[in-house]
Amino acid sequence: MELSVLTESINSVGFPIVIAGVFAWYINKRDNQRIEIEKETKAQEIEERKKLILTIEENRITNQELLATNKELSETNRLLCSEINCRMNLIENTLLEINQKVS
């Protein structure tokens, strides 16, 4: 705004009215800036929320795969322990038989 326009406005309607108009213009300008910042912030929040949801879903799938793998490993370990136990019993029985033959 030019100084001559401001001076002319003050002379025609008075200083308080001009200042009230300037304040209204300034408040409107600040409100518009705040609205723009809020829009940008909201867009960033939405994008971050989408990324977070995608990451959570990927982690859920990974956890399901890990659970399946753990179940398979547990079953394999159970079978291996059972097989080792059987073989240990067989070895023990064989040693007992050998020991009885020697005695």
pLDDT tens digits for range 27-81: 999 999 999 999 999 999 999 999 999 999 999 999 999 999 999 999 999 999 9
Where residue 85 falls among pLDDT bands split at 50, 70, 90? Answer: very high
Give residue 102's pLDDT: 83
Looking at residue 103, the DSSP 8-state letter turns out to be -
Three-class SS of the chain:
CCHHHHHHHHHHHCHHHHHHHHHHHHHHHHHHHHHHHHHHHHHHHHHHHHHHHHHHHHHHHHHHHHHHHHHHHHHHHHHHHHHHHHHHHHHHHHHHHHHHHHC
Give residue 22's pLDDT: 87
- Flag whether pLDDT at 1 surpasses 80: no
